[in-house]
Each structure stands twice: as structure tokens, then as C-alpha cells.
Amino acid sequence: MTFANDAYLFLLLLVIPIVVWYIMKGRKRKASLMIPSTGMFSGIGKSWKSYLIHLPFILEMTAFVLLVIILARPQTTDRWHDTEIEGIEIMMCVDVSTSMLAEDLKPNRIEAAKSVVSEFISGRPNDNIGLSIFAGEAFTQCPMTVDHAVLLNVLHNVSSDIAANGIIEDGTAIGMGLANAISRLKDSQAKSKVIILLTDGSNNRGEISPLTAAEMAKSFGIRVYTIGVGTNGTAPYPVYSSFGVQYINVPVEIDEDVLRKIAQTANGQYYRATSNTKLKDVYEEIDKLERTKLQVKEFSKNQEVYQPFAMALLLVILLIILLKQTVLKTIP
């Protein structure tokens, strides 16, 4: 509810001094009949009328408040939104090779990436987003969709186990992963098309070189952001044996030059994420750079709703008159 003349509401502040005045007046009130003793009335209880002595004042204050509200013109507003959305089409391209099981990020690289990517997807409800994964080969895990609940469910089930168990060839085919993502975006009519590629290694598999794929992305007007994930130096990597899990330190080999050239060629940017926090910061920065364009046309319709307050005011006034002419009638 809104008020067309909300300045009148300041009149409600007068209620406070009026109430204070009424209380002070009641304390100074003198008896209208003087008698030598009240002993003769000691056995007489209070009449029910005595409890109503302040009711007229309360009703008068209520009438005043209702009158102020009526003068302020209460209204309800109906709004219609005509929304035009120019969405961005995004392919998330994630490395799922066995090296993503390294635990320099917690609990490991692949799980840290999934967590941050999930937050990124959840924060972009108007965009068409898909998921491509790659190791020694690449394929589309989830095509472009605006049903992000389905996409998040698919992402939740992504694991490096498919490479570790030989379901797909292990290795790092960056060019193939990028080309697969491009194939999902090249025919799109969207004005803004983006690929976010995350990897922890260097290209050592595949028939398409990363820079050739970058040129392809540029030719189709697709921007590519590249992210190298992993600490500097070495990273703890779990090795499973009959004695349980043992850890060995493996060197972190990220081909930053290639990733940087991919981003430069495809009008994107390269980022390095050496921790969970930095990885999250990277996706937040990309999220700020690639925002959905939103145009909203708003139509409003106001409707006066003073009638209930007017009816209440009329009833209060009638009740005041009725009380003063009957049960609370005073002798002049």
C-alpha cells in the first residue's frame, strides 16, 4: 500500500502530545462533589461503566488516525513488467583428466572446479549454458539449456573416474575440448557467445591444436576465457594400492603460454587459479564481465482504497455519539 499524499501522515505525530495532555489532565482533575466521608460507599463495588470512562478518548484518537489516513489517500498499485532479455550463450569446458584428482585444491581440483562452476551457473538464470568435458578426447556432457536444474545435476555427476577407469582416453586434449565446445555455439544466433575453458595441464592429445581451435572460435565470434588451475611447483596426487591411499608429489605442468594465446586470439582473458579462493574469484570476475542485458518496461495502475477507512471512521463517530448520549452521558 502506498499513499498519494503521504505528507499528511506527519499529523499522526500529534497523537503523542494529545495523549500526554489527556493523562496530565486526568491527574489534575478535581472532584465535582465534596462529602465529609466515603465510608458509606465502602461496600459498593465499581460499576462496569467506570471501565468505559476512557473509551470516548480512545475512540476520538482512533477517529483522528483514520481521518489522517483518508487524507493521505491510501492506494494499491498493480504493475506489469514487459521484460526483454538478451541472454548470453555459454559453454563450460572442463578438464576431467586424472591429473584433476590432485589435491592442491580441496578436496581436489575437479571437485573444487565443480563447486565454483555450480555457483556460476546458479547466478545466471537467464543464460543458455552447456557443459563440455575433455581428457584425451572430448564430448558434450550437457547441450545448451536454460533448464539449469538439469545442468547442475549433470555437473554433479562429472568425475575424473571416467578417465581413470578407461571409459575415455586419459590425457589433455585442450584443442579437442575447445573445438567440441565451439561446435555447440557456432550456429547460435545469440549476440554474445562465450566459452570458459578450465584445465590443469598442457595439450598432449588430440588432432586439433589449441591455437587452431582458438582461431575457429574467433571466426565464429566466440570469446574464450581460459583458466589454469593448480598450485606452483608440485601437488599431492593420490595413488591407490593394496596398502591404501598413498600420496606422491607430482609437478604442476600448465602450458600458460598456450592458454594465454588462446584467450588473446579469441578476445577473452587468461586467469591462473592456485587455490580454491582464487578459482572462485576468477569465475566471479568472468561473471561481472559477461552480464546478461535486461530491459524492463513497467506499467502501473493505482487504485484508491480509502473506502474501508471511511466506513470505519463513520462507525467510530456513531459509536462516540451513542456512548455519550447513553451509558456515558454526563450531567451538565
Give the pLDDT confidence score for residue 259 in this predicted structure: 96
Give the pLDDT confidence score for residue 137 in this predicted structure: 94
* Residue 37 within any structural domain of the chain: no
Clarify whether residues 232 and 310 are in a common domain: no
The answer to whether the beta carbons of residues 101 and 237 sit under 8 Å apart is: yes
* Residue 1 within any structural domain of the chain: no
* Residue 46 within any structural domain of the chain: no
Q: Which of 89, 65, 104 is nearest to 275 (CA)?
A: 104
Clarify whether residues 214 and 107 are in a common domain: yes
Say whether pLDDT at 313 is over 90: no
171: left (phi over 0), alpha (psi -120 to 50) or beta: left
24-to-17, 21, 60, 124, 134 alpha-carbon distances in Å? 10, 5, 17, 62, 83
Clarify whether residues 193 and 259 are in a common domain: yes
Enumerate helices (H) and strands (E) in the chain, giving the number of each. 10, 11
Clarify whether residues 119 and 159 are in a common domain: yes
DSSP 181-250: HHHHHTT---S-EEEEEEESS---S-SS-HHHHHHHHHHTTEEEEEEEES-SSEEEEEEEETTEEEEEEE
Give the pLDDT confidence score for residue 32 in this predicted structure: 54
Q: Which of 269, 93, 297 is nearest to 182 (CA)?
A: 93
| Confidence band of 281 (pLDDT split at 50, 70, 90) | very high
Q: What is the CATH number of the domain that holds 289?
A: 3.40.50.410
Clarify whether residues 70 and 89 are in a common domain: no
Clarify whether residues 94 and 220 are in a common domain: yes
Summarised one tens digit per residue, pLDDT across range 94-122 is 999 999 999 999 999 999 999 999 999 99
Query: Residue 17 has which C-alpha cell?
Result: 502530545
Say whether pLDDT at 299 is over 90: no
Clarify whether residues 104 and 141 are in a common domain: yes
Percentage above 70 pLDDT, the chain: 86
Cα atoms in the Cβ-side hemisphere of radius 13 Å centred on 241: 6
Of 15-24, 28-37, 98-107, minimum mean pLDDT range: 28-37
Give the pLDDT confidence score for residue 191 in this predicted structure: 82
Say whether pLDDT at 159 is over 80: yes
* Spatial separation of the C-alpha atoms in residues 19 and 68, rounded to whole Å: 17
Query: Residue 67 has which C-alpha cell?
Result: 481521518
Say whether pLDDT at 211 is over 90: yes
Amino acid at 34: M
- Output the pTM of the full model: 0.64
**What is the domain range of residue 70?**
52-74+305-332
* Residue 230 within any structural domain of the chain: yes
Clarify whether residues 232 and 322 are in a common domain: no
* Residue 212 within any structural domain of the chain: yes
Tally the domains of the chain: 2
Clarify whether residues 320 and 253 are in a common domain: no
Q: Which of 287, 260, 316, 242 is nearest to 61 (CA)?
A: 316
* Residue 168 within any structural domain of the chain: yes
Clarify whether residues 114 and 206 are in a common domain: yes
* Residue 44 within any structural domain of the chain: no
Query: Residue 146 has which C-alpha cell?
Result: 536454460
- Cβ burial, residue 107 (10 Å; 0-12/13-18/19+): exposed
Of 34-48, 260-274, 318-332, highest mean pLDDT = 260-274
Clarify whether residues 176 and 70 are in a common domain: no
Clarify whether residues 265 and 315 are in a common domain: no
Summarised one tens digit per residue, pLDDT across range 223-269 is 999 999 999 899 999 998 878 889 999 999 999 999 999 999 999 99
Is-cis flag, bond preceding 107, omega within 30? yes
* Residue 260 within any structural domain of the chain: yes
